Amino acid sequence: MTERTRRGERMPEPFELFALRYANHPGRRAVDNMIGGDPHEAGSDLDYFVWVARRSDRVFVIDVGFGEEQAAARGRHLIRRPDEALRLLGIEAHRVEDVILSHLHYDHAGTLGDFPHARFHVQDAEAAYATGRCMCHGFLRQPFHVEDVVSFVRCVHAGRVAFHDGTVELADGLTVHRVGGHSGGLQVVRVWTRRGWVVVASDASHLYENMRRKLPFPAVHDVGAMMEGFAVIHRLADSPDHVVPGHDPLVMAIYPPVAPDLAGIAVRLDAPPQPL
Protein backbone atom coordinates (compact mmCIF):
# COMPACT_ATOMS: atom_id res chain seq x y z
CA MET A 1 0.00 0.00 0.00
CA THR A 2 1.79 3.14 -1.12
CA GLU A 3 0.98 6.73 -1.93
CA ARG A 4 3.08 9.56 -3.32
CA THR A 5 4.26 12.53 -1.28
CA ARG A 6 4.40 16.01 -2.76
CA ARG A 7 8.06 15.40 -3.61
CA GLY A 8 7.06 12.33 -5.57
CA GLU A 9 8.58 9.75 -3.18
CA ARG A 10 6.62 6.61 -2.71
CA MET A 11 5.54 6.38 0.91
CA PRO A 12 3.42 3.68 2.51
CA GLU A 13 -0.23 4.29 3.25
CA PRO A 14 -0.14 5.84 6.75
CA PHE A 15 -1.36 3.89 9.76
CA GLU A 16 -3.93 5.25 12.14
CA LEU A 17 -2.39 5.05 15.60
CA PHE A 18 -4.28 4.92 18.89
CA ALA A 19 -3.61 4.68 22.63
CA LEU A 20 -6.26 2.98 24.76
CA ARG A 21 -6.11 3.53 28.53
CA TYR A 22 -7.24 0.49 30.48
CA ALA A 23 -5.82 0.92 34.02
CA ASN A 24 -4.31 3.41 36.43
CA HIS A 25 -2.08 3.51 39.52
CA PRO A 26 -2.44 6.68 41.62
CA GLY A 27 -0.65 7.83 44.77
CA ARG A 28 2.93 7.35 43.59
CA ARG A 29 5.98 9.26 44.80
CA ALA A 30 8.66 10.73 42.53
CA VAL A 31 11.08 8.04 43.72
CA ASP A 32 8.64 5.37 42.54
CA ASN A 33 8.94 6.76 39.01
CA MET A 34 12.60 7.66 38.66
CA ILE A 35 15.94 6.77 40.14
CA GLY A 36 17.19 10.08 41.47
CA GLY A 37 13.70 11.49 42.10
CA ASP A 38 13.07 13.72 45.13
CA PRO A 39 11.99 11.49 48.06
CA HIS A 40 9.65 14.24 49.31
CA GLU A 41 8.02 14.98 45.98
CA ALA A 42 4.71 13.46 44.81
CA GLY A 43 5.00 11.55 41.56
CA SER A 44 2.83 11.16 38.52
CA ASP A 45 0.15 8.47 38.39
CA LEU A 46 0.91 5.69 35.99
CA ASP A 47 -1.65 4.99 33.29
CA TYR A 48 -1.67 1.62 31.52
CA PHE A 49 -2.24 1.41 27.78
CA VAL A 50 -2.60 -0.85 24.83
CA TRP A 51 -1.89 0.67 21.42
CA VAL A 52 -3.27 -0.02 17.96
CA ALA A 53 -1.76 0.66 14.52
CA ARG A 54 -4.42 0.18 11.85
CA ARG A 55 -4.78 0.76 8.13
CA SER A 56 -6.74 -0.75 5.24
CA ASP A 57 -4.56 -3.87 4.94
CA ARG A 58 -3.27 -4.57 8.47
CA VAL A 59 -4.10 -4.22 12.15
CA PHE A 60 -1.37 -4.48 14.77
CA VAL A 61 -2.27 -4.54 18.45
CA ILE A 62 0.72 -3.44 20.53
CA ASP A 63 0.68 -5.10 23.98
CA VAL A 64 -2.26 -6.78 25.67
CA GLY A 65 -2.25 -5.39 29.22
CA PHE A 66 -3.45 -7.27 32.30
CA GLY A 67 -6.77 -8.55 33.66
CA GLU A 68 -8.61 -8.66 36.98
CA GLU A 69 -6.31 -11.09 38.78
CA GLN A 70 -3.09 -9.09 38.42
CA ALA A 71 -4.94 -5.82 39.04
CA ALA A 72 -6.04 -7.21 42.43
CA ALA A 73 -2.69 -8.85 43.19
CA ARG A 74 -0.74 -5.65 42.51
CA GLY A 75 -3.25 -3.02 43.69
CA ARG A 76 -3.79 -1.47 40.27
CA HIS A 77 -7.12 0.03 39.24
CA LEU A 78 -8.44 -1.83 36.20
CA ILE A 79 -10.75 0.52 34.30
CA ARG A 80 -11.71 -2.02 31.66
CA ARG A 81 -10.16 -5.20 30.37
CA PRO A 82 -7.86 -4.61 27.38
CA ASP A 83 -10.14 -6.63 25.06
CA GLU A 84 -13.04 -4.36 26.08
CA ALA A 85 -10.87 -1.33 25.38
CA LEU A 86 -10.13 -2.67 21.88
CA ARG A 87 -13.84 -3.10 21.24
CA LEU A 88 -14.20 0.69 21.57
CA LEU A 89 -12.30 0.86 18.26
CA GLY A 90 -14.41 -1.93 16.74
CA ILE A 91 -11.62 -4.50 17.19
CA GLU A 92 -12.51 -7.99 18.44
CA ALA A 93 -9.52 -9.53 20.23
CA HIS A 94 -10.34 -13.04 19.05
CA ARG A 95 -10.04 -11.91 15.42
CA VAL A 96 -6.72 -10.07 15.77
CA GLU A 97 -3.94 -11.66 13.69
CA ASP A 98 -0.87 -9.70 14.81
CA VAL A 99 0.10 -8.67 18.33
CA ILE A 100 3.43 -6.99 19.00
CA LEU A 101 4.56 -7.56 22.59
CA SER A 102 6.93 -4.76 23.57
CA HIS A 103 8.07 -7.03 26.42
CA LEU A 104 6.65 -9.73 28.67
CA HIS A 105 6.00 -7.83 31.92
CA TYR A 106 2.62 -8.51 33.58
CA ASP A 107 1.13 -5.20 32.42
CA HIS A 108 2.04 -5.77 28.75
CA ALA A 109 1.59 -9.52 28.19
CA GLY A 110 -1.16 -10.50 30.64
CA THR A 111 -4.11 -11.41 28.41
CA LEU A 112 -2.59 -13.58 25.68
CA GLY A 113 -5.53 -15.99 25.99
CA ASP A 114 -7.92 -13.31 24.72
CA PHE A 115 -6.10 -13.44 21.35
CA PRO A 116 -6.48 -17.08 20.28
CA HIS A 117 -5.75 -16.44 16.61
CA ALA A 118 -2.90 -13.98 16.97
CA ARG A 119 0.75 -14.35 16.16
CA PHE A 120 2.85 -12.71 18.88
CA HIS A 121 5.89 -10.69 17.78
CA VAL A 122 8.66 -10.77 20.40
CA GLN A 123 12.39 -10.14 20.51
CA ASP A 124 14.60 -13.21 20.95
CA ALA A 125 16.32 -11.48 23.87
CA GLU A 126 13.04 -10.92 25.74
CA ALA A 127 11.97 -14.56 25.44
CA ALA A 128 15.39 -15.69 26.65
CA TYR A 129 15.35 -13.21 29.52
CA ALA A 130 11.85 -14.11 30.74
CA THR A 131 12.67 -17.83 30.81
CA GLY A 132 16.37 -17.74 31.74
CA ARG A 133 18.74 -17.27 34.63
CA CYS A 134 17.79 -13.66 35.40
CA MET A 135 14.40 -14.95 36.59
CA CYS A 136 16.21 -16.56 39.53
CA HIS A 137 16.49 -13.04 40.99
CA GLY A 138 13.41 -11.64 42.72
CA PHE A 139 14.11 -8.02 41.75
CA LEU A 140 14.27 -8.86 38.04
CA ARG A 141 11.41 -11.36 38.24
CA GLN A 142 9.01 -9.06 40.06
CA PRO A 143 7.46 -7.34 36.98
CA PHE A 144 6.70 -10.73 35.40
CA HIS A 145 3.74 -12.96 36.22
CA VAL A 146 4.82 -16.56 35.84
CA GLU A 147 1.45 -17.65 34.41
CA ASP A 148 1.84 -15.09 31.60
CA VAL A 149 5.29 -16.46 30.82
CA VAL A 150 3.87 -20.00 30.81
CA SER A 151 1.09 -18.88 28.43
CA PHE A 152 3.74 -17.34 26.22
CA VAL A 153 5.77 -20.57 26.17
CA ARG A 154 2.61 -22.47 25.20
CA CYS A 155 2.23 -20.06 22.26
CA VAL A 156 5.84 -20.76 21.26
CA HIS A 157 5.12 -24.49 21.25
CA ALA A 158 1.94 -23.88 19.23
CA GLY A 159 3.98 -22.13 16.55
CA ARG A 160 2.32 -18.79 17.26
CA VAL A 161 5.33 -16.64 18.11
CA ALA A 162 7.33 -14.65 15.55
CA PHE A 163 10.81 -14.10 16.98
CA HIS A 164 12.74 -11.00 15.98
CA ASP A 165 16.33 -9.99 16.57
CA GLY A 166 16.81 -6.22 16.54
CA THR A 167 15.27 -4.07 13.83
CA VAL A 168 12.67 -5.82 11.70
CA GLU A 169 10.06 -4.47 9.27
CA LEU A 170 6.69 -6.12 9.96
CA ALA A 171 4.90 -4.09 7.29
CA ASP A 172 5.74 -1.30 4.89
CA GLY A 173 5.63 1.60 7.36
CA LEU A 174 5.98 -0.34 10.63
CA THR A 175 9.20 -1.58 12.21
CA VAL A 176 10.21 -2.94 15.60
CA HIS A 177 13.51 -2.05 17.28
CA ARG A 178 15.15 -3.60 20.32
CA VAL A 179 15.92 -1.04 23.02
CA GLY A 180 17.77 -2.35 26.02
CA GLY A 181 17.45 -1.31 29.62
CA HIS A 182 14.02 -1.81 31.14
CA SER A 183 13.75 -5.51 30.34
CA GLY A 184 16.06 -8.02 28.68
CA GLY A 185 14.69 -7.48 25.18
CA LEU A 186 12.19 -4.65 25.07
CA GLN A 187 11.17 -3.50 21.60
CA VAL A 188 9.68 -0.18 20.52
CA VAL A 189 7.46 0.25 17.47
CA ARG A 190 8.06 2.89 14.78
CA VAL A 191 4.91 3.65 12.82
CA TRP A 192 4.37 5.71 9.66
CA THR A 193 1.36 7.99 10.23
CA ARG A 194 -0.18 11.03 8.54
CA ARG A 195 2.04 13.23 10.77
CA GLY A 196 5.22 11.29 10.08
CA TRP A 197 7.17 8.63 12.01
CA VAL A 198 5.82 8.10 15.51
CA VAL A 199 7.55 5.84 18.04
CA VAL A 200 5.49 3.88 20.54
CA ALA A 201 8.24 3.75 23.15
CA SER A 202 6.42 1.55 25.65
CA ASP A 203 8.63 1.19 28.71
CA ALA A 204 11.76 2.50 27.03
CA SER A 205 10.41 5.60 28.83
CA HIS A 206 7.49 5.30 31.25
CA LEU A 207 6.89 9.06 31.52
CA TYR A 208 7.83 12.17 29.53
CA GLU A 209 9.79 13.15 32.62
CA ASN A 210 12.05 10.09 32.45
CA MET A 211 13.18 11.12 28.96
CA ARG A 212 13.31 14.84 29.69
CA ARG A 213 15.31 14.54 32.91
CA LYS A 214 17.17 11.46 31.71
CA LEU A 215 16.32 9.64 34.92
CA PRO A 216 15.56 5.93 34.54
CA PHE A 217 12.46 4.26 35.91
CA PRO A 218 13.34 2.08 38.93
CA ALA A 219 12.21 -1.19 37.29
CA VAL A 220 15.36 -1.67 35.26
CA HIS A 221 17.59 -4.46 34.03
CA ASP A 222 20.47 -2.34 32.66
CA VAL A 223 20.65 1.35 33.56
CA GLY A 224 23.27 2.20 30.93
CA ALA A 225 21.23 0.62 28.16
CA MET A 226 18.12 2.44 29.34
CA MET A 227 19.94 5.78 29.14
CA GLU A 228 21.13 4.92 25.62
CA GLY A 229 17.54 3.96 24.79
CA PHE A 230 16.33 7.53 25.36
CA ALA A 231 18.59 8.61 22.49
CA VAL A 232 17.57 5.69 20.29
CA ILE A 233 13.84 6.42 20.50
CA HIS A 234 14.43 10.08 19.69
CA ARG A 235 16.55 9.14 16.69
CA LEU A 236 13.75 6.93 15.37
CA ALA A 237 11.02 9.58 15.76
CA ASP A 238 10.46 12.65 13.61
CA SER A 239 10.58 14.95 16.68
CA PRO A 240 10.30 14.69 20.49
CA ASP A 241 6.55 15.17 19.96
CA HIS A 242 6.59 11.94 17.96
CA VAL A 243 7.70 9.82 20.94
CA VAL A 244 4.89 8.25 22.98
CA PRO A 245 5.92 7.11 26.48
CA GLY A 246 4.53 3.89 27.94
CA HIS A 247 2.66 5.00 31.09
CA ASP A 248 2.20 8.79 31.11
CA PRO A 249 -1.26 10.20 31.95
CA LEU A 250 -0.31 13.28 29.89
CA VAL A 251 -0.89 11.18 26.75
CA MET A 252 -4.64 11.31 27.44
CA ALA A 253 -4.45 15.06 28.05
CA ILE A 254 -2.50 16.21 25.00
CA TYR A 255 -3.77 13.95 22.20
CA PRO A 256 -7.28 14.33 20.76
CA PRO A 257 -9.88 11.74 21.76
CA VAL A 258 -11.09 9.32 19.10
CA ALA A 259 -14.63 10.61 19.78
CA PRO A 260 -15.94 13.12 22.34
CA ASP A 261 -17.31 10.36 24.58
CA LEU A 262 -13.90 8.60 24.58
CA ALA A 263 -11.94 11.48 26.17
CA GLY A 264 -9.54 9.99 28.73
CA ILE A 265 -10.08 6.53 27.25
CA ALA A 266 -8.95 6.45 23.60
CA VAL A 267 -6.81 9.03 21.80
CA ARG A 268 -5.31 9.44 18.33
CA LEU A 269 -1.52 9.44 18.27
CA ASP A 270 -1.52 10.10 14.52
CA ALA A 271 -2.73 13.65 15.23
CA PRO A 272 -0.33 16.26 16.65
CA PRO A 273 -0.36 16.67 20.45
CA GLN A 274 -1.66 19.94 21.88
CA PRO A 275 0.61 21.80 24.32
CA LEU A 276 -0.90 21.87 27.81
Site for Zn ion in 139-198 (CB under 5 A): none
- Looking at beta carbons only, is 220 or 266 nearer to Zn ion? 220
Strand partners, 169: 175
Nearest residue (beta carbon) to Zn ion: 105
Neighbours of 3 (CB within 10 A): 10
Tell me the C-alpha distance between 122 and 162, whole Å: 6
Choose the binding region for Zn ion from 73-81, 91-99, 170-178, 202-210 (rule: CB under 5 A): 202-210
| Site stretch for Zn ion (CB under 5 A), options 44-52, 104-112, 149-157, 229-237 | 104-112
Q: Of the candidates 267, 201, 276, 182, which has an alpha carbon nearest to the alpha carbon of residue 240?
A: 201
Q: Is 247 in the site for Zn ion (CB under 5 A)?
A: no
11/134 with CB nearer Zn ion? 134
**Angle at Cα 235 formed by Cα 250 and Cα 253, nearest 5°?**
10
* Nearer Cβ to Zn ion (203/270): 203
Least Å from the CB of residue 132 to Zn ion: 17
d(C-alpha 201, C-alpha 53), whole Å: 14
Please check whether residue 202 is in contact with residue 102, taking contact to mean a CB–CB distance below 8 angstroms: yes
Closest separation in Å from C-beta 44 to Zn ion = 16
CB 240, min distance to Zn ion, A: 22
Nearer to Zn ion by Cβ, of 221 and 268: the residue is 221
CA-wise closest residue to 229 among 184, 179, 178, 167: 179
Minimum CB–partner distance for residue 196 and Zn ion (Å): 26
For Zn ion, which is the closer residue by CB, 203 or 209?
203
CB 94 within 8 A of CB 117: yes
**What is the nearest approach in angstroms of Zn ion to the Cβ of residue 8?**
42
Residue count, binding to Zn ion (CB under 5 A):
2
CA atoms within 13 A on the CB side of 245: 23
Cβ of residue 4: shortest distance to Zn ion, in angstroms?
39
Toward Zn ion, which CB reaches closer, 16 or 203? 203
Min separation Cβ 254 and Zn ion, Å: 22
Q: Does residue 105 bind Zn ion (CB under 5 A)? A: yes
- Beta strand pairing call for 119-123 and 161-164: parallel
The contacts of residue 7 (CB under 8 Å, 6+ apart) are: none
Of 59 and 220, CB closest to Zn ion: 220
Q: Verify binding: residue 203, Zn ion, rule CB under 5 A.
A: yes
* CA angle centred on 101, ends 100 and 104, rounded to 5°: 170
Cα separation, 33 vs 259, whole angstroms: 31
- Judged by the rule CB under 5 A, the positions of this chain that interact with Zn ion are 105, 203
